[in-house]
Structure 1
Amino acid sequence: MKFKSGDIILGLFVVGILFLIIIPLPEWILSIFLILNISIAAMLLLSALFSKEALDLSLFPTILLITTVFRLGLNISSTRLILRDADAGAVVDAFGSFVAGGDIIIGAIIFLIISIINFLVITKGSERVAEVSARFTLDAMPGKQMAIDADLNSGFIDETTAKMRRQKIQDEASFFGAMDGASKFVKNDAVAGLIISFINIGGGIILGVAMKGMPFMEALNKYTILTIGDGLVSAIPALFISIATGVLVTKNNQEGPMSEALFGQIVQSPMVLYIVGAVIVALGAFTPMGLLLTVPIAGLWLLLGYYLMNKNKEKAVEEEIATEDVLADEIRKPENVMGLLQVDPIELVFGYGIIPLADVNQGGDLFDRVVMIRRQIALELGAIVPIIRLRDNIQLPPNTYSIKIKGTEVARGEILFDHYMAMNPGYVEDEIDGIETREPAFGLPALWITESQREKAEIKGYTVVDCPSIIATHLTEIIKKHLAELLSRQDVQTLLDNVSESHSALISELTPKLLGLGEIQKVLANLLSEGVSIRDLVSICEILADYAPTIRDTDVLTEYVRQGLARAISKKIFTQPTNQVITLDPAVEQMIMDSVQHTEQGSYVALDPRTLQDVVGSLKREVMKLTNVGLQPVLLTSPIVRIYFKHLINQYMPDLTIISYNEIDQSVEIQSIGMVSAS
């Protein structure tokens, strides 16, 4: 471990503080340390005053502890000199004789006033503000984090900015929590200063009279002056530190220097200064104060008001000119339309009636649900969902929402505000009153019911969901359906970079030597288009690296990947001890393989239209048999036919699950209850 010179100096300084308590110091060294203590306190006060925000001095609690211990160490050293030699150096003597005027009564009063102000006003107030700030900062953390997630989800900020803002929230919580404890140092330091002063006076009188043979009044005067000097030389830096603590815990974030902010807020209106000047003149005219004393001060405020009024006029003109210049520059810019060309990958647009569901201030949680959608899909399918932008549109009907993919509307739904949607799961016989509708995500029959009917419907067995859940579910299903086209090359690169952190050899072998980024994207898109998770990207890349040296067709590579993911695919599709499936007539399979045409752009099936119509008709009849008994239709084919039959039938039944024999895990038991033929 390497130590920098600054680290060595800091370490020696902290260790040196401990030696102050043990080793007696000469008077001249103590005087140097006392001046150093005053300068450090002044430095901290000015740093706190001129900092833009509290976190600019994030280590202030640690500094506060070190300076407090340093000051107490000096107190011990000065006490030792006062009691032993009746002399604590030039600095203590100067504060006792010059600042206090050499009078023990005046010195004692000044010392007590400074101590009382420090302890009862500044220290107590700073302690209370630090305590409240810590409590409110911790209480506000969840809300601030939700606001960051909402801004990130709506696209107002990027991931880097969100990370910085989250870190700042954590730093603020840690800082104010530490300040709440550190303020106790300041409070107890003030108490310790008073106690040490009384000990010095009492102990000094006893030592002076009993051991040094001084008269009582001489001992009282000598040790009291020294004690007052020692107390003042410690109390003034302590007062600086207390003020710095109060300034820091009461500081709000601001733009620009502290002086400008204070001046701008106190004398922000010329009218305020004019009124103050008039009041001061009136006090001089109608009270014994006299105009000679009040007119100069009033004139100062009036002149300042006049200056501020002219300054505001100049500022208004400058802002108007600057605004016009900015508008003119924007108009003249040749690239000012570039922002209009960007298309959001996913948009949720809604009418004004749905705004309360998205407004956090009105209790809406739609933003939070959208954030959870991205996390849910990432966990379920392993894909990166682009930022989902939420917008209101007054052109839409009030309770209508629209889902857009790459700028084009792909789905639309309507809700009934302050109502719930009740759906019969299929086994409930009791009916309830409501407005008939259809669930937008799956098209199931449903009813709109009121809040008063909700409990009754749930007791009867209905599935009851609220409006935000309806929108979120619909949005989730639409995203899953279009996830393949939303997967960009940049997303694939991000996923590969993530895998490369732990499997760098695999990624360096796969791309770009064996497959390009676009080819890997096509394979992953093929998997996502059929609802296969790409979360196990390591296994997918391993399979691609095995077969890519001899196979370049991305559709065929996709089939090998599916076979490698057989356990995951089987677990998702087959959930029963015995699972019913539809099979494909071997004659149809042979017919399809004979009709496959290979070109440079890929392979396709050139099947006779009449034969295709017969196959589609037979497939629909077999699928209907399964759906009528409440089973999910699954078609089972040979591995070499699956991809071609999927392409062939996709335009007629895009949601049909088609798997091959090689994609079935050995532990899964299946039963064929139908066969698709061409007759």
Structure 2
Amino acid sequence: MDYASILARYIGREVYVSTFGHVRLRGELAAIYEDCVRLVNASTSQETEDTPWSNSWRDDEDGVNYADGSEALVHFHHIVAIRCADDELLDVPILSEPIPQSVPESIEPPPQAQVPEEEPWEPFLDVDRLTLEMGSGLVDLVHPDSSEMMQRVSAIRCHLADALGLVIPRIRLRDALDLHEQEYRVLIDQCEVARGRLGPGQYIALDMGTSSGTLQGVRGVDPTFGGPGIWISGDRQQEAEQLGYLVIDPSMLVVTHLQETLRRHAHEILTLSDVRDMLERLRESSPSEFEEIRSSPMTGSLLHAVLRRLLEEGVSIKNFSRIVEILALHGHRNQEIETLVALVRQRLGRQLVQRYLDAEGKVHAIGLERDLEGLLLQLTEEEATRQTRNWIERMVDMLRESFQRLEDQQRPVAMVVSSTLRTRMWQILAHHFPQISVLSLAEVPRTSEIYWQAILSAEEVGALEPPVKRGQHPAIASDGTYRAKGKISEHLAEELPPRRPR
């Protein structure tokens, strides 16, 4: 308690002081210090229970010890109460606890709000957005004493946020008794999207082309990318590395598979609520762009559909402000998802071709001859499933072989086709070879050259008889014959000059 501020109003006045030793003092309050008060002209008297507060002070010497002109110092911790001789000032009790306030009988305390009991079925309505389930033999990977797995899962969320612009929700880790002890699976909205199993020893050694000897172990397959490997135990890791193998521990195997699964299914993870959170962040960082999209006829559901499609095609939505800029500009004229996605992709052209540029700024690509593009453009859904399935499958196989051969040579390439064919070509390849990125000529910046690594023709894939009427495409002559060019080899670095900047 701050005694100094309370007793300051009594300075210069006569006060009565009662102490714990049943001793009363009377005097003029002269000064207040940090831990005591000073009285002048002080006198003392013994306190009795039946004696009023001030009646014990008499002018005679009966039971009173007067000491006129004397001074007294009284410490705060000895004081019980102080009363001023002036009736106009109230008494100041010196108590360690506040005086309880009495509550009138007519006023009842308000009843406490009753918290409704949770229904027993409510927890079963919650859906886990992301779950990683493990067999009994892998539970030790997520043991509380081992934080390595948890740190790697956290790093995945940060990496995908940077690569895709998508905030990955928290991932629930739990065991599953119905799984094999060395098996795990990834679930999105409680639906399985990927599964893997570790081999004996749980460590896998991969030959990256640098091995210099034979490693004994159990032959197996990398659960993430499907490449061949050798399962070994952890105590043989150093031996395998000395032979030039890349050894991956079980925790990294599971985390890598989880990361690639989330990347491929990113469009299934994005929800309408996530889009609204992105708009709130845009409101804080770029208020003008937020107002543009807000005043446009673009709805949240349509924006969600466009973003999902971009993620499904492997396009990062991290540059959200530029995406919103294009949608706000064209959204009032067109509400078709295909058209809006094409406009956004053209705006993000430099971002799309970045990974396919070489040191000279050339885009390495695989393309289609005009005759083959014409056939694909005129195919209907019914024709694509009945008459042309054989040569379409042959075309996909040839493209897969070409891409695989170029990837083995450390040459990342994209498929570049006309703008009108890009969406259909992506739909065809997405079911067979989703790793292929399909770009349109309009998405390649004018300052970049296209270096054609391979071009396929209709003759190569066996599609010389078009399933359309005569004269419907420039590649078809008036007499019904097909203007197919001669077979073009896959590597055309010398035969065809690169496209010059426009």
Deviation at 1:342, TM superposition (A): 4.4
Check whether the contact 1:543–1:560 (CA below 8 A) recurs between aligned residues: yes
Of 70, 78, 90, the match for 2:36: 78
How far does the alpha carbon of each residue in 1:308-340 deviate from its partner, in whole angstroms, 9 at most, with x for none? xxxxxxxxxxxxxxxxxx9xx99xx7xx55644
Deviation at 1:445, TM superposition (A): 2.4
The 5 Å alignment of 1:135-214 reads: none
Structure with a larger share of its residues in helix: 1
| Mapped partners of 2:247, 2:7: distance in 1 | 73
- Which residue in the other structure is 2:176 paired with? 393
Distance 1:519 1:357, change over 3 A: same
Deviation at 1:24, TM superposition (A): 10
Deviation at 1:630, TM superposition (A): 4.0
Check whether the contact 2:356–2:364 (CA below 8 A) recurs between aligned residues: no
Check whether the contact 1:424–1:463 (CA below 8 A) recurs between aligned residues: yes
Deviation at 1:594, TM superposition (A): 3.2
Check whether the contact 1:348–1:403 (CA below 8 A) recurs between aligned residues: yes
| Mapped partners of 2:200, 2:78: distance in 1 | 70
Check whether the contact 1:566–1:664 (CA below 8 A) recurs between aligned residues: yes
- Which residue in the other structure is 2:431 paired with? 651
AA partner of residue 583 (structure 1): G
Of 436, 441, 450, the match for 1:661: 441
Check whether the contact 2:210–2:245 (CA below 8 A) recurs between aligned residues: no
AA partner of residue 249 (structure 2): D
- Which residue in the other structure is 1:594 paired with? 378
- Which residue in the other structure is 1:345 paired with? 129
- Which residue in the other structure is 1:642 paired with? 422
The 5 Å alignment of 1:205-604 reads: 229=75, 232-233=78-79, 337=121, 339-360=123-144, 362-415=145-198, 419-511=202-294, 513-574=296-357, 576-577=359-360, 578=362, 580-595=364-379
AA partner of residue 364 (structure 2): Q
Q: Provide TM-score, normalisation by structure 1.
A: 0.51
Check whether the contact 1:592–1:607 (CA below 8 A) recurs between aligned residues: no
Percent identity, aligned pairs only, is 24
| Mapped partners of 1:522, 1:345: distance in 2 | 19
- Which residue in the other structure is 2:462 paired with? none
Check whether the contact 1:348–1:402 (CA below 8 A) recurs between aligned residues: yes
| Mapped partners of 2:313, 2:300: distance in 1 | 21
- Which residue in the other structure is 1:204 paired with? none
How far does the alpha carbon of each residue in 1:154-182 deviate from its partner, in whole angstroms, 9 at most, with x for none? xxxxxxxxxxxxxxxxxxxxxxxxxxxxx
| Mapped partners of 2:248, 2:6: distance in 1 | 67
Check whether the contact 2:200–2:218 (CA below 8 A) recurs between aligned residues: no
Check whether the contact 1:25–1:77 (CA below 8 A) recurs between aligned residues: no
Check whether the contact 2:218–2:231 (CA below 8 A) recurs between aligned residues: yes
| Mapped partners of 1:413, 1:597: distance in 2 | 35
| Mapped partners of 2:325, 2:152: distance in 1 | 35
Any gaps of 5 or more consecutive residues in structure 2?
21-30, 49-65, 81-94, 98-115, 460-502
Distance 1:608 1:444, change over 3 A: closer
Distance 1:342 1:232, change over 3 A: closer
Check whether the contact 2:35–2:75 (CA below 8 A) recurs between aligned residues: no
Of 408, 411, 427, the match for 1:631: 411
Deviation at 1:382, TM superposition (A): 0.9
Check whether the contact 2:220–2:229 (CA below 8 A) recurs between aligned residues: yes
Distance 1:24 1:497, change over 3 A: same
Check whether the contact 1:30–1:74 (CA below 8 A) recurs between aligned residues: no
Deviation at 1:675, TM superposition (A): 0.6
Deviation at 1:537, TM superposition (A): 0.7
Distance 1:556 1:597, change over 3 A: farther
Check whether the contact 2:36–2:74 (CA below 8 A) recurs between aligned residues: no
| Mapped partners of 2:129, 2:374: distance in 1 | 41
Check whether the contact 1:381–1:533 (CA below 8 A) recurs between aligned residues: yes
| Mapped partners of 1:397, 1:574: distance in 2 | 44
Check whether the contact 1:423–1:445 (CA below 8 A) recurs between aligned residues: yes
AA partner of residue 498 (structure 1): R
| Mapped partners of 1:28, 1:558: distance in 2 | 90
AA partner of residue 675 (structure 1): I
How far does the alpha carbon of each residue in 1:245-273 deviate from its partner, in whole angstroms, 9 at most, with x for none? xxxxxxxxxxxxxxxxxxxxxxxxxxxxx
Distance 1:30 1:619, change over 3 A: farther
Deviation at 1:460, TM superposition (A): 4.8
Of 375, 389, 396, the match for 1:609: 389
Secondary structure at 1:580 match in 2: strand
| Mapped partners of 1:418, 1:387: distance in 2 | 29
Distance 1:463 1:628, change over 3 A: closer
| Mapped partners of 2:412, 2:16: distance in 1 | 88
Check whether the contact 2:416–2:441 (CA below 8 A) recurs between aligned residues: yes
AA partner of residue 657 (structure 1): S
| Mapped partners of 1:369, 1:418: distance in 2 | 21
AA partner of residue 663 (structure 1): E
Distance 1:385 1:227, change over 3 A: same
Q: Paired residues, what number?
A: 398
Check whether the contact 2:127–2:190 (CA below 8 A) recurs between aligned residues: yes
| Mapped partners of 1:548, 1:630: distance in 2 | 40
Check whether the contact 1:615–1:677 (CA below 8 A) recurs between aligned residues: no
Check whether the contact 2:353–2:363 (CA below 8 A) recurs between aligned residues: no
Deviation at 1:76, TM superposition (A): 3.9
Deviation at 1:428, TM superposition (A): 3.0
How far does the alpha carbon of each residue in 1:286-325 deviate from its partner, in whole angstroms, 9 at most, with x for none? xxxxxxxxxxxxxxxxxxxxxxxxxxxxxxxxxxxxxxxx
Distance 1:388 1:677, change over 3 A: same
| Mapped partners of 2:202, 2:267: distance in 1 | 34
AA partner of residue 227 (structure 2): L
Deviation at 1:520, TM superposition (A): 1.3
Deviation at 1:524, TM superposition (A): 0.7
AA partner of residue 348 (structure 1): L
Check whether the contact 2:199–2:220 (CA below 8 A) recurs between aligned residues: no
Secondary structure at 1:510 match in 2: helix
Which one has more relative contact order, counting CA pairs under 8 Å at least 6 apart?
1
| Mapped partners of 1:617, 1:476: distance in 2 | 27
Deviation at 1:424, TM superposition (A): 2.8
Check whether the contact 2:153–2:255 (CA below 8 A) recurs between aligned residues: yes
Secondary structure at 2:432 match in 1: coil
The 5 Å alignment of 1:49-60 reads: none
Deviation at 1:431, TM superposition (A): 3.9
The structure number with the bigger radius of gyration is 2
